[in-house]
Structure 1
Amino acid sequence: MLMMTNIAELTEVIIEEGVKIVTTGAGTPKSYMPIWKEAGIIVIPVVPSVMIAKRMAKLGADAVIAEGTEAGGHVGETTTMALLPQIADAVDVPVIGAGGIADGRGIAAAFALGASGVQIGTRFLATEECPVHENFKQAVLKAGDRDTTVTGRKAGSPVRSIKNKMIKEYLRLEDLDVGRDELETLTLGSLRKAVQEGDTDNGSVMAGQIAGLITDIKPCREVIEEMMQEAEQVASQLKI
């Protein structure tokens, strides 16, 4: 939210187009929550901590997405396994688990930890319907359990991506304590480079740690059906 300058304009479009559900992240929706709620929109913020989860619930959030540091993109510091049950115990709204979930075992684990649902991102990068460049998909398939890292912690804007030439240069500059402007110059347009142009060396290939579990590209329907079947099997065995 804080990283965008046209939120007011987007809010008007959201209401005009009759959008039913809005998720928010990378900032607080405090200023726009009353407007969305008045329009009957369900608001679900992504939260990285118990404190922020409580704050969002107090503001009127209909649910919260408890996203652990395993996730791709902008992240917090707490792992999903530690974060999810603490948030589930702290708020009275439904909690959606996210970060490090890519199969039925992860879904079952999230429910065991108190989630009412899950949000899955990285697994769907490697699907036929995902519009990212083929090189991006292949980078996800090739990634192992140690192939992602977090940049931007010193600047207060941590992001998890697959390691590449650009990420290594960012980390080098970060260690040298260069200014934020220089770091932003390095990453300017980097997500577009990876997603649209397929430049997985100089682009930002945002993906979670669970990328190491992904080995094939399938249709979304097949991925969902397989995950749900496995989740039901695991839950049955554990009597969740």
Structure 2
Amino acid sequence: MSSRGSIIISWKPAGGSSEDDQKTVLKKIFRQTLEKTREKKGIFGVNVMVAVEMKDWAELIIDTMIELREQDPEMKERFKILVTSAGDPLPWTPKVKKAGLLWMHVIPSVKGALRCQKAGVDAVVASGAQMGTRFLATQESDFHPMWKEGVVKAGDRGTLVARGFVGPARFLKTPVSLKHQENTLKMSPGVFLGKPDDYSTVPMELINSEIAAMNAVYAGDETKALLAGGECAQRIQDLPTVEDLVKRIVREAEEVLAKMPGRLA
């Protein structure tokens, strides 16, 4: 799979629309991606959180993906990668394996890896690094410029941890995220104590504020947006093209490896 010809789509519902409307929007996004990658003939896929809290939405995305693949031979050939995370992969095994997708699952532990083995997942990343924040801050990234610029401006110690939809999450440090962290401590302290919560134990006031803050990200409303970002944001200082970024990563890795013998001597 070409790194330049593949695209992973992560898209969350704004709420208030019917399932048919959401499916229509999803199909449009997937078809646009097919067009964007046609010249390079790269394969692409979708990244879906399968936590219990997001089960209905995850099912809609995966069902839409499978439906498009069944309707369009080119989709079947190129739209083939499914990356799941933030949940148990096992319940999804029958649907995913029947569809013939290339299935990867993101896990945080050995226990999670063994669960993936039982589920029949095709790939589990056991080494390397996730670089979502770094690739978010690129020219090709179609997220709102406000979000990308927020990453570049984050600076030293520019992130914090607070409640997310499926567990603890890291955000760029802003007045909005500082307030959300304060609300997390008051209304969902288990986040900081390793105690999972869910929609039945968290006040709707907090959940609704999270939804509004996430919608504000896509609307570009900096006064209300909760901007997600990894701790590495403090070291990101530019918005390169994806091609230039990948070349830089390889070059810098080679430079580090070349210096290692001298440092260990």
Q: Is structure 2 residue 104 aligned with structure 1 residue 44?
A: yes
Structure 2 counterpart of 1:160, from 170, 175, 184: 170
Query: Could you tell me how far 1:156 is from its partner in structure 2?
Result: 6.7
Q: Which amino acid aligns with 2:119?
A: L
Q: SS of 2:86's equivalent?
A: coil
Structure 2 counterpart of 1:134, from 124, 145, 165: 145
- 1:12 corresponding residue in structure 2: 63
Contact 1:190 1:204 in 2 (8 A): yes
Contact 1:145 1:210 in 2 (8 A): no
Contact 2:89 2:115 in 1 (8 A): no
Cα distance change of structure 1 residues 198 and 8 upon mapping to structure 2, 3 Å threshold: closer
- 2:154 corresponding residue in structure 1: 143
Contact 2:105 2:121 in 1 (8 A): yes
Q: Which amino acid aligns with 1:186?
A: S
Higher relative contact order, structure no. (Cα contacts within 8 Å, ≥ 6 residues apart) = 1
Structure 2 counterpart of 1:57, from 113, 117, 124: 117
Q: SS of 2:104's equivalent?
A: strand
Q: Which amino acid aligns with 1:120?
A: M
Q: Which amino acid aligns with 1:134?
A: P
Structure 2 alignment gaps of length 5 or more:
1-49, 70-75, 189-201
Structure 1 alignment gaps of length 5 or more:
66-94, 99-118
Q: SS of 2:117's equivalent?
A: helix
Structure 2 counterpart of 1:175, from 177, 185, 188: 185
**Structure 1: distance between partners of 2:61 and 2:187:** 36
Following TM superposition, the consecutive aligned residue runs of length 4 or more in structure 1 with deviations greater than 6 angstroms are none
Q: Which amino acid aligns with 1:193?
A: A
Q: Which amino acid aligns with 1:169?
A: K
Q: How does 1:71-220 map to 2 (within 5 A)?
A: 95-98=126-129, 119-152=130-163, 157-177=167-187, 179-194=202-217, 196-220=218-242
Cα distance change of structure 1 residues 156 and 135 upon mapping to structure 2, 3 Å threshold: closer
Contact 1:139 1:200 in 2 (8 A): no
Q: Which amino acid aligns with 1:58?
A: K
Q: SS of 1:34's equivalent?
A: helix
Contact 1:164 1:201 in 2 (8 A): no
Query: Could you tell me how far 1:8 is from its partner in structure 2?
Result: 3.4
Q: Is structure 2 residue 53 aligned with structure 1 residue 22?
A: no
TM-score, normalized by length of structure 1? 0.70
**Structure 2: distance between partners of 1:147 and 1:26:** 24
Q: Deviations along 1:148-198, whole A, 9 cap, x unmatched? A: 111128x9721111122222222222333374312112111322312x222
Q: Percent identity among equivalent residues?
A: 32
TM-score, normalized by length of structure 2? 0.64
**Structure 2: distance between partners of 1:151 and 1:9:** 28
Contact 2:171 2:230 in 1 (8 A): yes
Cα distance change of structure 1 residues 145 and 54 upon mapping to structure 2, 3 Å threshold: farther
Q: SS of 1:27's equivalent?
A: coil
Query: Could you tell me how far 1:143 is from its partner in structure 2?
Result: 0.9
- 2:246 corresponding residue in structure 1: 224
Aligned-pair Cα RMSD in Å: 2.3
- 1:32 corresponding residue in structure 2: 92
Q: SS of 1:47's equivalent?
A: coil
Query: Could you tell me how far 1:226 is from its partner in structure 2?
Result: 0.9
Query: Could you tell me how far 1:96 is from its partner in structure 2?
Result: 4.6
